[in-house]
Structures are given as structure tokens and as C-alpha cells.
Structure 1
């Protein structure tokens, strides 16, 4: 693979685009790894980011064809909403008791699925820069891995001090899901691009609020069940 001025410029653009568009992915990595034991967090973030980049490379190779499939983004948006709610819903004792290896691989799986879902728009921009130069594309994505890991580490440290960031991250995923949902090719063809664009931000905000509301309701229900269980527990 020969590198001239054009290739170096394209490589820089790929790295820059991926760094800019991967902020929400860094949030997912940090949120998915926040419950891991401290000794496993770094490993979980590295594995999660590595798997995510690998899947993104594969995904980019087929995205141009897939983007023409109606309702693909609708399905992706629903999957992303599920992931957002699952990250903030209260976990029972059995879930918290899952040890080391299982926890880490569950986190890596969440990261991989979320990255695939959230990268529909990202890969189009990156593929547009690389054109048919797949070696350039792969190199740019691989170089971007440390950027994503560093961003995840910063967010994870902030989550430890400010747990409210978890809720903000879930709302962000809901917002992304809203944007993805209304931009599906089937909806654009049916209602028109201008109409869809006018509702894009509104739908995104509504779904972000819905994620937080559902998470809050699940927390209330969980707290009430715990309170009832404590009341029924015999005292000695």
C-alpha cells in the first residue's frame, strides 16, 4: 500500500472523523464497564474497543448495500433503546453476583452490539473518505482505537465520582436512537426528507426523555419491592 500526500490526508481525515463520531461509543464502553472489578476495567475497555473496531471494519464493507434496506435503522434504534434502558435499570443481587469472566464478556458484548447499532452513520462518513482504499480505511480505524479507549477511561473515572453521568449517557443513547429512527430510508421515502428533518430533533429528545423515565420507573418499582421484602423479613 503506497502512501502519498493524498493518502496521508485521507488517513488524517478518517482518524479525525472517527474520533469525533465515537464520543457516544466511548460513553457506551465506559457505562458497560463501570460495574466490573477495578482490575478488569482496563481489560474490558480494551477488548470492547477492539471488538467494536473489528466489527465496524466488517460493517463498513457491507453498509452501502444494507443502507438501502427499509426499516434497518428502525430495528437498530429499537435495539439501541433496549441497551440504553438495560444500562440504567436496577440489577438484582444475582446479576451483581456474576463473577469476573462472565461480567467482562457481558460488557464486551454490550459494547460490540451498541457500536454496530450506533455506527450506521459513522461508517458512511469514513467510507466516503477512504473510497475503495480498504487498506487505508482499516488502518485509520485501527489507529483510532487508543482514542476511543482514552475517551472511555476519562468518562469511566467521571462516572465513579458522578453517577448521574450514567443517566446522562443513557439519555444520549436514547437521543441517538431517535435520530436513527426517523432517518430510516422507508420513513424518508414515505413522508419526505424535509418533513423527517423537521421532526428529527423532537423525536430524539422525546426518546431521550423516555429512556430516563423508564429507568426511573424501574428504579421506583425495584425500590418498592426491596422495601416490601424488608418488611416481610422476620426480625430476631
Structure 2
């Protein structure tokens, strides 16, 4: 009965989720226009590479990831999606939206500014993930308000997309890997299913390497959640090599 309900909800979500229309709305927004004249901070100011170039490249990387042959690391990863009851096509399309918006808040980022979180009202620093969430809420609300679970997955993945890098920096300073309950808390912000929310972040991390010379934080993220989260759930998380990412 639960499986039938999930299939029905997926059908309704897919019918209401018009990806080409959403992409068009994003690219017509003032946020996108600002990003188009903002140099991507992964490159020098005279590179000519704009923030929109980065957003589009990460979008393309998402598409490439989901076209990988189902062998080796990617075969194991896609089989894990089935084990977790995460629809591969739905995940791909949601991550494409995340890709177009994940760094779009960078032009208005102010790390020193503390503001009410737009979803919870709690004090939060205006980092670019939070600013990206604000942009997503402004741009996407009319398109996604009728499909709240999908909306919230997209919103929260945008907000938390760079969370693992911050935790990696903390690890470098303290050598402490976040415990299981910390990962559980992060997971449930994105997805109601165990491990599914972390999978959103893990796969997006594979795509968000444009302009990143060093990807040690990506490898660390996979090892950290495997040792302190997936193993406790008795779930075998496959480990990528640099060749799987580049």
C-alpha cells in the first residue's frame, strides 16, 4: 500500500514539475542577470568566466553524472538509490534546479550579517547558501508551492550544498568527524527517508567541482558519512576515486 502511495505521489509531482519552464523562470530572474555580470570567484577577475558559467557547468555535470554507465562506482551508486527508494530521474531533475541556483546568492553574501532564517526564523549568518535559499524561495515559490516535499528538498539542498566543505575545514582544525546524530539531523532537513537527504548532497558534490583544483573535501565527505552514518545504518556507501569525479 505504501509503495502504491509513493508511486502515485511521484506521478503527481512529475506532472506538476515543469523543468524547462522552471529553468526559463530562473534565467529570466534578476538573480540570474546579476550572476551573469559577476565574475566566478573560482577564477581571476580577468578570466571572463561569470557566475552563470559556473552554474551552467554544474548543471551540465549533473546531466553527465546521471548518464554514466551503471558499472563500477556509478553502478553501485545508482543501485543504492533503488535500495533507498529514491527515484533516479526525480533526483536528477531536482539537482538540476539546485545546480542553477546553488551559488546564485554569492553576490549578496555577507558572512558577518546575522538575519532571521527565512524558513525557521532563527538567527543565521547570511552565507551564500542561505542567500541562495532566499533566491530560490523568491523565484520558485509559484512553481513549487503545490508540491511541498519536492520544493523543500530543492530549497534545503541549495542551502546546505556547501555544508560539507565547512565541516571539512572543521575537521582539518580538530580532526573530529561529525557523529551519527549530526548527519541524521542534516539528512532530515532534506529528505524524510533515512540516508536519502545525504545522498542528495553526496551526488551534488560530485557535480560541483567546476573551478575546484582541490577536491579533497569531496573525498573526505564520502569517507566521513560512510564511517559515521551509513555504516551504522548497515548501508554500503560506494567510495569514488578522483577518476570518478573528474
Check whether TM > 0.5. Answer: no
If the length of structure 2 is used for normalisation, what is the TM-score?
0.28
Structure with higher strand content: 2
The structure that is helix-richer by fraction is 1
Higher relative contact order (CA 8 A, sep 6+): 1
Q: TM-score, normalised by structure 1?
A: 0.29
